[in-house]
Chain A
Amino acid sequence: MPELGRAALVITLGLSVYALVAGAAAATLGRRRLAHSARNALIGAFASTVVASVVLAVAFARDDFSLTYVADHSSRSLGGIYKLSAFWGGQEGSLLLWLLILTGYSALAVWLNRRRARDLVVWVVPVLAGICVGFSWLLVAVASPFAVQAAPLDGAGLNPSLQNPYMMSHPPFLYLGYVGLAVPFAFAMGALLSGRTDERWIVTTRRWTLLAWTALGIGQLLGAHWAYVEVGWGGYYAWDPVENAALMPFLAATAFLHSVMIQEKRGMLKVWNVVLVSLAFCLSLFGTFLTRSGVVNSIHSFTRSDIGPWFLAFIIVAVAFSTALILWRLPLLRSTTRLESLVSREAVFLYNNLLLVALCLTILWGVAWPILSEAVRGQSVVVGRPYYDFFLRIFGLPLLLLMGAGPLIAWRRASLRGLLRTFAWPGGIAVATGIVLLARGAGSSIPGLIAYTFSAFVLAAIALEFARGTRARRALSSESWPVAFASLIGRNRRRYGGYVVHAAVVLLAIGIAGSSAYDSVTEGRLAPGQSLAVADYRLTYEKLAERDTDHATEVRAQVAVVRAGKDLGTVEAGKNSYRIAGPEPQVSSEVGIRTNYATGEDLFVIAEQVNDDGSVYFRVFVKPLVNLIWLAGLVFLLGSVIALWPDAREERRLAVRYGEAGSPAPSR
Chain B
Amino acid sequence: MTVALVLGGILAVACVVLVALPFLREPDPVSDELHALTAEERDRLRLAEERDRALAALKELEADHRAGRIDDDDYRASLGPLRREAAEALAALEAYGRHPGRQGRPTS
Check B34–A37 contact: CB distance below 8 A. no
Binds B, one of A24-32, A229-237, A353-361: A24-32
Check B48–A661 contact: CB distance below 8 A. yes
User: From residue 6 to 61 of chain A, which have CB atoms closer than 8 A to chain B?
Assistant: 7-8, 11, 15, 18, 26-27, 30-37, 40-41, 43-44, 47-48, 51
A-B pairs with beta carbons under 8 Å apart, 15 shown: A1-B7, A7-B12, A11-B11, A32-B22, A32-B32, A32-B34, A40-B21, A119-B35, A119-B37, A267-B50, A410-B74, A422-B69, A657-B45, A657-B48, A657-B49
Q: A1-B3, A7-B4, A11-B8 are in contact. List 20 more A-B contacts (CB 8 A).
A: A1-B7, A7-B12, A37-B23, A47-B14, A51-B11, A118-B34, A199-B49, A266-B53, A267-B49, A414-B74, A415-B71, A418-B74, A468-B69, A471-B67, A476-B66, A660-B44, A660-B48, A660-B93, A662-B37, A663-B41
Residues of A within 8 A of B (CB): 1-4, 7-8, 11, 15, 18, 26-27, 30-37, 40-41, 43-44, 47-48, 51, 118-119, 122, 196, 198-200, 264-267, 336, 408-415, 417-418, 421-422, 465, 468-469, 471-472, 475-476, 653, 656-658, 660-663
In the bound complex, residues from chain A placing their C-beta under 8 Å from that of B38 are 662
User: From residue 1 to 58 of chain B, which have CB atoms closer than 8 A to chain A?
Assistant: 1, 3-5, 7-8, 11-12, 14-15, 18-23, 26, 29, 31-38, 40-42, 44-46, 48-50, 52-53, 56-57
Check A661–B19 contact: CB distance below 8 A. no
Q: Is the interface of A mostly helix, strand, loop or mixed?
A: helix
Check B20–A119 contact: CB distance below 8 A. no
Q: How far, in Å, is A132 (CB) from chain B's closest CB?
A: 14
Beta-carbon nearest neighbor of B65 in chain A = A410
Complex Cα–Cα for A122 and B32 (A): 14
Check A33–B22 contact: CB distance below 8 A. yes
Question: B34, B60, B64: which contacts A30 (Cβ < 8 A)?
Answer: B34
Complex Cα–Cα for A511 and B23 (A): 59
Question: B8, B15, B35, B78: which contacts A44 (Cβ < 8 A)?
Answer: B15
Check B46–A198 contact: CB distance below 8 A. yes
Complex Cα–Cα for A231 and B48 (A): 55
Question: A27, A118, A411, A475: which contacts B64 (Cβ < 8 A)?
Answer: A411
Check A422–B49 contact: CB distance below 8 A. no
Check B19–A37 contact: CB distance below 8 A. yes
Residues of B within 8 A of A (CB): 1, 3-5, 7-8, 11-12, 14-15, 18-23, 26, 29, 31-38, 40-42, 44-46, 48-50, 52-53, 56-57, 60-61, 63-64, 66-71, 73-74, 78, 93, 107-108
In the bound complex, residues from chain B placing their C-beta under 8 Å from that of A51 are 7, 11
In the bound complex, residues from chain A placing their C-beta under 8 Å from that of B7 are 1, 4, 51
Complex Cα–Cα for A246 and B18 (A): 36
Are A410 and B36 also in contact (CB < 8 A) when A33-B26, A44-B18, A658-B45 are?
Answer: no
In the bound complex, residues from chain B placing their C-beta under 8 Å from that of A421 are 68, 71
Check A661–B41 contact: CB distance below 8 A. yes
Are A3 and B4 also in contact (CB < 8 A) when A413-B74, A414-B74 are?
Answer: yes
In the bound complex, residues from chain A placing their C-beta under 8 Å from that of B52 are 653, 657
Question: A31, A118, A415: which contacts B33 (Cβ < 8 A)?
Answer: A31
Complex Cα–Cα for A657 and B56 (A): 13
Complex Cα–Cα for A118 and B36 (A): 9
In the bound complex, residues from chain B placing their C-beta under 8 Å from that of A198 are 42, 45-46, 49
Complex Cα–Cα for A199 and B74 (A): 29
Beta-carbon nearest neighbor of B21 in chain A = A40
Question: B19, B34, B107: which contacts A35 (Cβ < 8 A)?
Answer: B34
Most buried by A among B21, B68, B69: B69
- Closest 10 CB pairs between A and B? A7-B8, A661-B45, A36-B22, A662-B41, A4-B4, A468-B67, A3-B4, A44-B15, A33-B22, A1-B4
Beta-carbon nearest neighbor of B5 in chain A = A3
Question: A27, A200, A410, A663: which contacts B69 (Cβ < 8 A)?
Answer: A410
In the bound complex, residues from chain B placing their C-beta under 8 Å from that of A8 are 8, 11
Beta-carbon nearest neighbor of A475 in chain B = B66
In the bound complex, residues from chain A placing their C-beta under 8 Å from that of B53 are 264-267
Q: How far, in Å, is A619 (CB) from chain B's closest CB?
A: 50
In the bound complex, residues from chain B placing their C-beta under 8 Å from that of A411 are 57, 60-61, 64
In the bound complex, residues from chain B placing their C-beta under 8 Å from that of A468 are 67-69
Q: How far, in Å, is B60 (CB) from chain A's closest CB?
A: 6
Check A472–B66 contact: CB distance below 8 A. yes
Q: How far, in Å, is B76 (CB) from chain A's closest CB?
A: 12
In the bound complex, residues from chain A placing their C-beta under 8 Å from that of B23 are 33, 37
In the bound complex, residues from chain B placing their C-beta under 8 Å from that of A26 are 34
Complex Cα–Cα for A476 and B63 (A): 11
Question: B1, B21, B48, B78: which contacts A412 (Cβ < 8 A)?
Answer: B78
Check A15–B74 contact: CB distance below 8 A. no
In the bound complex, residues from chain B placing their C-beta under 8 Å from that of A47 are 11, 14-15, 18
Q: How far, in Å, is B99 (CB) from chain A's closest CB?
A: 15
